[in-house]
């Protein structure tokens, strides 16, 4: 039970970030390397606006984040958008600027955010910090809503269409620029939310988001572009893998093994026979049998 709760807790954080980065990747084909630093921004809002109650601070973070993200997309990402690599470098620079900005404003010293919900809850006999539970459940609800939106709304349909074939989607009347702007904003907001939600659990400092980038990047690597559910699944897989390894082994060994396993999965996935195997699983008729 302990392990299960740990996985859920970790998934809330990684899931929000990974689904966010996947939304951005789906619409723009850009890996947003500033995703972790956007989470840092969210955490700083939660850490500095201490006069307001925590819930309000979280909403404030989102309210501050939304126009900021739109402006960033307009100013920085619109032009190099056609070239994926250039746009990726822009996001890298954006992340660096956010880190340096935070260091200038708030210095490099870590801050903490008081836990808004005190005490522990008994989950089937295991005591667990109440806030972690609240945090994880909120995150999972939001991830669920995003997935629902992607599969049940018009916007989601268009997003998936753009992810599949941007040229065709544009021809059929989806404005790719608007799509990119909304996707970047929503994906970025998920990161801001993750940062604000998890700030009471972490130390808030300028470089905090940078460390989150690696597991999130792996999550994106293991998911299918446009299929947000696979991104959530990948985040779950990564959280589970990391928690399980660290429960069984010492942290040092677990980290080494974690990377080895993730790289192995990524390498295996690119093998053609795996693709055929999974296609067979999905019972899609293979071209050879169609003849």
Task: Calculate helix-pair angle for 84-106, 35-48, nearest 10 degrees.
Answer: 20
Q: How far is the CB of 184 from other proteins (least distance, A)?
A: 25
Q: Does 199 bind other proteins (CB under 8 A)?
A: no
Which one among 2, 83, 164, 175 touches other proteins, defined by CB under 8 A?
A: 2
Distance from C-alpha of 152 to C-alpha of 104, rounded to nearest angstrom: 43
Q: Does 108 bind other proteins (CB under 8 A)?
A: yes
Which one among 174, 205, 223, 230 touches other proteins, defined by CB under 8 A?
A: 205
Q: Does 121 bind other proteins (CB under 8 A)?
A: no
Distance from C-alpha of 190 to C-alpha of 192, rounded to nearest angstrom: 5
Per the document, the length of the chain is: 291
Distances from the Cα of 200 to the Cα of 47, 170, 171, 236, angstroms: 8, 43, 46, 22
283: left (phi over 0), alpha (psi -120 to 50) or beta: left
Q: Does 95 bind other proteins (CB under 8 A)?
A: no
Q: Does 284 bind other proteins (CB under 8 A)?
A: no
Which one among 50, 109, 141, 278 touches other proteins, defined by CB under 8 A?
A: 109
Distance from C-alpha of 92 to C-alpha of 86, rounded to nearest angstrom: 10
Q: What is the DSSP letter of 128?
A: E
Task: Calculate helix-pair angle for 228-248, 251-269, nearest 10 degrees.
Answer: 150
Q: How far is the CB of 235 from other proteins (least distance, A)?
A: 14
Q: Which residues contact 232 (CB under 8 A, 6 or more apart)?
A: 15, 18, 19, 143, 147
Stretch that binds other proteins, among 4-12, 62-70, 161-169, 182-190 (CB under 8 A): 4-12
- The answer to whether 38 and 185 have CB atoms below 8 angstroms apart is no
Q: Reduce the DSSP state of residue 261 to 3 states and report it.
A: helix
Q: How far is the CB of 199 from other proteins (least distance, A)?
A: 11
Q: Does 131 bind other proteins (CB under 8 A)?
A: yes
Which one among 6, 159, 189, 190 touches other proteins, defined by CB under 8 A?
A: 6
- The answer to whether 159 and 183 have CB atoms below 8 angstroms apart is yes
Distance from C-alpha of 149 to C-alpha of 170, rounded to nearest angstrom: 20
What is the x/- site pattern for other proteins, positions 207-236, by CB under 8 A? xx--xx------------------------
- The answer to whether 39 and 162 have CB atoms below 8 angstroms apart is no
Q: Does 243 bind other proteins (CB under 8 A)?
A: yes
Stretch that binds other proteins, among 63-71, 88-96, 171-179, 242-250 (CB under 8 A): 242-250
Q: How far is the CB of 226 from other proteins (least distance, A)?
A: 29
Chain residues that interact with other proteins, rule: CB under 8 A: 2, 6, 9-10, 13, 103, 107-112, 115, 120, 127, 129, 131-132, 200-203, 205, 207-208, 211-212, 242-243, 246-247, 250-252, 254-255
């Amino acid at each position: 039970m302990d392990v299960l709760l740990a996985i859920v807790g970790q998934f809330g954080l990684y899931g929000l970030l990974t689904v966010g980065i996947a939304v951005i990747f789906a619409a723009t084909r850009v890996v947003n390397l500033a995703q972790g630093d956007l989470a840092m921004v969210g955490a700083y809002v939660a850490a500095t606006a201490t006069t307001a109650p925590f819930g309000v601070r979280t909403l404030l973070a989102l309210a501050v984040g939304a126009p900021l993200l739109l402006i960033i997309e307009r100013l920085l990402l619109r032009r190099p958008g056609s070239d994926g690599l250039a746009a990726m470098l822009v996001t890298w620079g954006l992340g660096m600027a956010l880190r340096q900005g935070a260091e200038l404003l708030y210095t490099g010293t870590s801050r903490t955010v008081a836990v808004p919900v005190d005490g522990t809850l008994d989950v089937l006999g295991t005591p667990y910090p109440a806030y972690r539970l609240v945090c994880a459940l909120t995150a999972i609800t939001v991830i669920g809503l995003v997935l629902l939106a992607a599969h049940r709304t018009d916007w989601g349909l268009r997003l998936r269409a753009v992810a599949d074939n941007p040229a065709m989607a544009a021809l059929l009347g989806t404005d790719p620029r608007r799509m990119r702007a909304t996707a970047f904003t929503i994906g970025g907001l998920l990161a801001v939310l993750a940062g604000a939600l998890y700030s009471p659990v972490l130390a808030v400092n300028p470089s905090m988001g940078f460390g989150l980038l690696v597991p999130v990047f792996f999550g994106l690597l293991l998911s299918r572009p446009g299929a947000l559910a696979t991104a959530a699944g990948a985040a779950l897989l990564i959280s589970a893998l990391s928690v399980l390894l660290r429960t069984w082994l010492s942290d040092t060994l677990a980290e080494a093994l974690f990377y080895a396993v993730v790289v192995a999965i990524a390498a295996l996935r690119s093998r053609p026979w795996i693709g055929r195997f999974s296609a067979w699983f999905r019972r899609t008729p293979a071209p050879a049998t169609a003849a």
